[in-house]
Amino acid sequence: MALAQIASLLMAGLLSQATGGTSTTTAPTNAQSSDGVTTGTTPAQSTSGTDVNGAGNSQILREMEALRKQNAALAEDMEAMRKQNKSLEGSVADLQVQQNGKWLSEERAKEVRNVVEDVLKDADARASLTHAVPTAGFGDRGFFIASPDGNFRLNLSGQLQIRYAANFLSSRDYSILNANPGAGVNRNSAPAPSANSYNKNTNGFEIRRMKLDFFGHVIDPSWQYRLILIYNQNQNASAVPAGNNAAGANGSSNAGMEEAMVIKDMGDGFKISVGQFKSPFLREEIVSSRRQLAVERSLVDQMFSTKFTQGVMGTWTGDHVMFEAMYNDGGSNANTGATAAFNSESVGSPQNLNNGAGFTEWAITAHAGWLAYGHWNDFNDLSSFPGEGEGLMFNAWLNMQRGGQGASSAIQGANNIPLNGNSDAQFLTWSADATWHFGGANLFSYFVMNTAYNIPATTTNNISSINSYGAVVQGGYFITNTVELFGRWEWMSTQNKGVNDIGNVGPTDTPTVANVFNAGKTSAYTAGFNWFIHGRQIKLTTDIGFTTAPLWFNNGIYGAGIAGTNYRIEPDGGGGQIVVRSQLQLLF
């Protein structure tokens, strides 16, 4: 377009030059010879004498310069448009890549969904074909069998405690017992042992505990159950002290039911338990025998603990607070029938009602716990292992029951002193404790008290109430990751204002009953170590303990026997005893 403009301007300039524009010019003339031949031409000139060609050229140059500038501007515009076009081409390419990538992602996601759906359909088909085949294995709580959907589960664990123990009575005990064989021995109406029949020192091996623990859930994980079968130790209840194999006692034992319960988890920390289990009283008793600090629980625990019973319990557990309340058959009244004690067959021999399985009219047990810091699971043990959580916990416990034996005063002892918590009286027992775990060390202590009141009066004795007390302080410290040293002090006392049943009777007299409600007071000291050979599963515990005064009772307030502690009952005026124990525990 610019070249056409230039050509047009040149033509215009030439035409202007030829016509002279607005100036007057003289037409050119030809010079001729005489013979008529043209010899030349003379250039035309303006009448003013100015050069027309010079002015026209200047005008053309100016216009050409203007056209050059215009052409340069057009070139710059075209370059800008080219760059813009290039940028647009890049944006279009990016958009196309993104769209292609999105398309690929959608396609890939669709393919993955199809594959997952196919796998799930195949798994459902296989599960429906093999629905009767459960899963099985070994976990942190023992062996288990479970359904594929997890709604049914059976766990099996076990506990085995093999113990060696030696007991050494004081010389004073030895002299009194052999001089008066009936003194302080719980033989009821059986003949007294013969003179010099007591051994000062005894020792031997025993299977202290053998348990099989079945637990799990059915229908769904909220319906839980537990069943514990236990080997019952023969603790030499024979009338003569000649061993379990004497006088027809063949040393046999039997298996019994320790726990049988159903638990419904209601959610939000609420649970309801029904069946046979330990009533919520005394922390030392509630902690499993597999997780104790010493070889055996304290004598104070045996004196006051309510052990196993039957009933229904509600539990609520929060982050820092726990409450439990149970309505039950009374302390240690496990494995009993609902109405057996009131059968007509029992009339005339009511003394048999209290032979290890008595009855109460009613019993209520409650517990409140406060976790100052830490986690509840950190307090399943009385030991605190290195590297495990620290914590501080406080508890309060209460047991109230009314005995329902319905027996005469003679059955309650010669002086109408209750035999245990099933006798015709009311019993209020309470306790408070504190446990401190340091992650490698532990400290545990508690105080417990029982008041027996509303005791029937007789012509020989009118006791308004009998108070009994107990206290325990114990602690442990890990000197290595697997060895723990421990110590324990315990004290127990019964302040009986009446006449004691226990006495130093002669061999021809009727033996009296070694009753926990007789007046008595003693302290016991224990020290030893735990060697955790393979974590909690294999543990060796060895300790030595001694009492500073005679141990006056054979069974606790709620029927727990001291035989499992390897201590022996002593006569009034005795001098104490020493017990050495070593126990290997295996858990599976």
What pLDDT was estimated at residue 58? 78
Q: Which residue has better confidence, 512 or 412?
A: 412
Number of Cβ within 10 Å of residue 216's Cβ equals: 19
Is the pLDDT assigned to residue 76 strictly greater than 50? yes
| Shared-domain flag, residues 498 and 425 | yes
Query: Would you place residue 226 in the very low, low, confident or very high pLDDT band (cuts 50, 70, 90)?
Result: very high
> How far apart, in Å, are the Cα atoms of 282 and each of 302, 356, 394, 512?
11, 21, 12, 30
What pLDDT was estimated at residue 361? 87
> How far apart, in Å, are the Cα atoms of 412 and each of 185, 231, 425, 469?
16, 31, 10, 21
Is the pLDDT assigned to residue 583 strictly greater than 90? yes
DSSP one-letter string for 211-231? EEEEEEESSSTTEEEEEEEEE
Q: Which residue has better confidence, 461 or 298?
A: 298
- Asked whether residue 236 is domain-assigned, the answer is no
Task: Count Cα neighbours of 188 within 13 Å in the Cβ-side half-sphere.
Answer: 11
Measured CA to CA, the distance from residue 79 to residue 76 in angstroms comes to 5
| Shared-domain flag, residues 101 and 204 | no
> Which residue segment(s) compose the domain that 95 sits in?
91-133
What pLDDT was estimated at residue 81? 76
Give the model confidence (pLDDT) of 161-199 as tens digits.
Answer: 999 999 999 988 888 877 766 555 544 444 556 666 778
Range scoring the smallest mean pLDDT among 344-353, 380-389, 396-405, 415-424: 344-353
Give the model confidence (pLDDT) of 359-391 as tens digits.
Answer: 788 999 999 999 999 999 999 999 999 999 999
What pLDDT was estimated at residue 293? 97
Helix (H, G, I), strand (E, B) or coil at 430: strand
Q: Which amino acid is at 484?
A: E
Task: Name which of 252, 486, 287, 450 is nearest 379 in CA terms.
Answer: 287
| Shared-domain flag, residues 176 and 129 | no
- Asked whether residue 232 is domain-assigned, the answer is no
Residue with tokens 């709620």: 558
Query: Would you place residue 404 in the very low, low, confident or very high pLDDT band (cuts 50, 70, 90)?
Result: confident
- Asked whether residue 8 is domain-assigned, the answer is no
Measured CA to CA, the distance from residue 323 to residue 46 in angstroms comes to 132
Query: Would you place residue 104 in the very low, low, confident or very high pLDDT band (cuts 50, 70, 90)?
Result: low
| Shared-domain flag, residues 107 and 181 | no
Q: Report the CATH number at residue 454.
A: 2.40.160.10
| Shared-domain flag, residues 530 and 392 | yes
Q: Look at residues 133, 167, 196 and tell me which one is the last residue of a structural domain.
A: 133
| Mean pLDDT for all residues in the chain | 79
Query: Would you place residue 470 in the very low, low, confident or very high pLDDT band (cuts 50, 70, 90)?
Result: very high
Q: Which amino acid is at 250?
A: N
